[in-house]
Chain A
Amino acid sequence: MIATGIQLAYLSSAALFVLALRALGQPTTARRGMQMAAFGMLVAVCATLVDQRIVSYEWLIVGLVAGGVIGYPLGMWVPMTAMPQRIAFSHAFGALAATLVGVGEYMHGFHEGTLTYGKTVALGFEVFFGALTVTGSLMAFGKLQELLPGAPITFRGQNVFNLSLFAIGVICLVWLVVSPYDTAFFVAILAIGLAVGVLMVLPIGGADMPVVVSLLNSYAGLAAVATGFALDNNILIVVGALDGASGFILSMAMSKAMNRSFANVLFGAFGAEAGGPEATQAGASGEMVGIDADDAALRLAFARRVIIVPGYGLAVAQAQHQVRELADLLEKRDVDVRFAIHPVAGRMPGHMNVLLAEAGVSYDKLFDMEDINERFSDADVALVIGANDVVNPAARTNRSSPIYGMPILNVQDAKSVIVLKRGRGKGFSGVENDLFVSPKTNMLFGDAKQSITQLCVEVKQA
């Protein structure tokens, strides 16, 4: 009777979670949706607490309280700029929970002699994916937080080595299924999972992290699915599948936006190949033409339509609030201001949107690449702030360019372009940008925050 009640409670939580994800499709309903999901979680947890297998509650309370104490600062105090590492860190937590449950269940089954083939496969998968996600996420966290060097770390035969290690892991898993009571193989799977996680993230550079973080999201989901199979728990399977699908979709979207095939992502071969010295001279010739802040401000102030293109440089300079102020000033002068957001403008999917929303830019001014690209031809001024590769027309025109084929914002179609840039150096991928030397483009050099503040002052006077 109680068991049925618990299952029904899980069923309703699953429904609430799916509805919550549906509600996330629109900013107007998203918040309400997530409150529903939180309620669903509460239902599931309360239902579990009356489970008859639970006989003592002291440790549960210890765990719950400790988790709450750790979780609160992770939720309330982490700044929005630190979101990517915060998410990576949580993936490690989630995966650690799955892994520990896997180990605990294996030991329990081992002592009771209840390890069936099916259960062993599931536990093996759970521990493997879980362990891999734990170390992988911690590595990603370290790189994003700059505790570890952000540059890719590679060595000869890396892919072969990683794949062989992965293969050994799979062989151990098969062996464990054949003889479930061979503890050594279980331990080996755990160890290999941990090692693969580290090795997988080593060769990946800081700029490629969005893909990795999304992919780890997907792996964490798969670990949860395996937990569900091992414990005959449908809610874990449902949630794990949702999580896995989400991570998969995001990593696909990210790799597409970064001009990399998904296979390339899976085998971690990227990071090292970008930034080669070849092809950098191709195309771009001519001089960058500078502009003063007062001229730039006049041009913005007397424009009818302005599109602002924020890039990662904006986030680095922490200039979101200044940009919002500039946008407000321009709007007061009846200038139509929009923001064009490239999918990889930031360190994780959708990061730039959050940063601008935090600064107070309303979401109906934030436009995705597909929605705004055709509007550039109507824009009087495109203001590019700390973005480079995502506005490089070479991605369309220059076949020999390493970024050829990458989807870009059509900034070159605007009537004129002002680029805010720290210095004359190249962008992250080391590719020359034809846009910067185009006759329509003027460069405003200097720190983004100072330049924008100056623009605000000048616009006020215009």
Chain B
Amino acid sequence: MTSTAIIQLFVFLLAGFVGFQTISRIPPLLHTPLMAATNAISGISLVASLVLAGADQGLLSTVLGTIAVGCATANVVGGFLITDRMLAMFKPARLEAKEQPST
């Protein structure tokens, strides 16, 4: 195994732990936005698609790359928009109502 591969495994492991810790703390209230958000973020495969589509490695590669760019962009654009739309709906209580003791 090359040293790059080892470093990548470290990155994977640590990112996995960070993800596990961070995401375990997200309340079920926000699980649907969480899914939409990870969906949007996973559109990061756009960076790989861009390189494939633009590197001029033959027609087929360019075509595959372009489709991949389209798919990933759709996820990024659609994902961030819908997450924002959802999160905008979550509003705290209006200030008036409820002064009574809530036991």
A binding-site residues for B, Cβ under 8 Å = 10, 13-14, 17-18, 20-22, 24-25, 27-28, 30-31, 34-35, 37-38, 41, 44-45, 47-49, 51, 53-57, 59-60, 62-64, 66-68, 70-76, 78, 80, 83, 86-87, 90-91, 93-94, 96-98, 100-101, 103-105, 107-108, 111, 118, 213-214, 217, 220-221, 224-225, 227-229, 231-250, 253, 331, 334, 336, 341, 343, 348-351, 353-354, 357-358, 360, 362-366, 368-369, 378
Contact = CB atoms under 8 A, between A and B. Distances in A.
Given A30-B33, A45-B76, 16 more contacts: A21-B26, A27-B90, A41-B76, A48-B47, A53-B51, A60-B66, A67-B71, A67-B72, A68-B77, A94-B72, A98-B68, A101-B68, A241-B18, A243-B38, A246-B35, A363-B91
B44 A239 contact: yes
A234 B28 CA distance: 30
Contacts of B5: 118, 229
A37 B41 contact: yes
A231 B48 CA distance: 8
21 contacts: A17-B44, A21-B23, A28-B92, A37-B37, A37-B41, A44-B44, A55-B56, A59-B54, A63-B68, A72-B77, A75-B80, A90-B39, A94-B45, A221-B42, A227-B45, A229-B5, A237-B11, A241-B12, A246-B35, A253-B31, A362-B93
A62 B66 contact: yes
Given A41-B80, A57-B54, A350 B30 contact: yes
Given A221-B38, A246-B19, A253-B28, A101 B81 contact: no
A131 B39 CA distance: 17
A75 B57 CA distance: 33
Nearest to A334: B100
A71 B45 contact: no
B29 A72 contact: no
Nearest to B1: A118
Contacts of B29: 27, 341, 350, 353, 363, 366, 368
Interface of B: 1-2, 4-5, 8, 11-12, 15-16, 18-20, 22-58, 60-62, 64-94, 97-98, 100, 102-103
Contacts, number: 380
Contact of B42 (A76, A107, A224): A224
B28 A350 contact: yes
A362 B28 contact: no
Contact of A245 (B16, B36, B76, B80): B16
Name the residue among A22, A72, A353, A365 with the largest chain B CB count within 10 angstroms.
A353
A257 to B, nearest CB: 9
A331 B97 contact: yes
Contacts of B83: 34
B12 A237 contact: yes
Nearest to A13: B44
Tell me the interface secondary structure of chain B in the complex. Answer: helix
A249 B87 CA distance: 21
Contacts of A105: 52
A104 B65 contact: yes
B66 A63 contact: yes
Given A41-B80, A105-B52, A378-B103, A357 B16 contact: no
Given A37-B80, A59-B53, A242-B15, A336 B102 contact: yes
B7 to A, nearest CB: 8
Given A41-B41, A237-B8, A358 B79 contact: no
B65 A101 contact: yes
A246 B55 CA distance: 32
Contacts of A250: 31, 34-35
A107 B62 CA distance: 11
A212 to B, nearest CB: 12
Q: Top 4 closest A-B pairs, CB basis?
A: A67-B73, A75-B81, A63-B69, A71-B77
B62 A232 contact: no
A93 B35 contact: no
Contact of A74 (B22, B44, B74, B100): B74
Given A108-B61, A233-B48, A41 B43 contact: yes
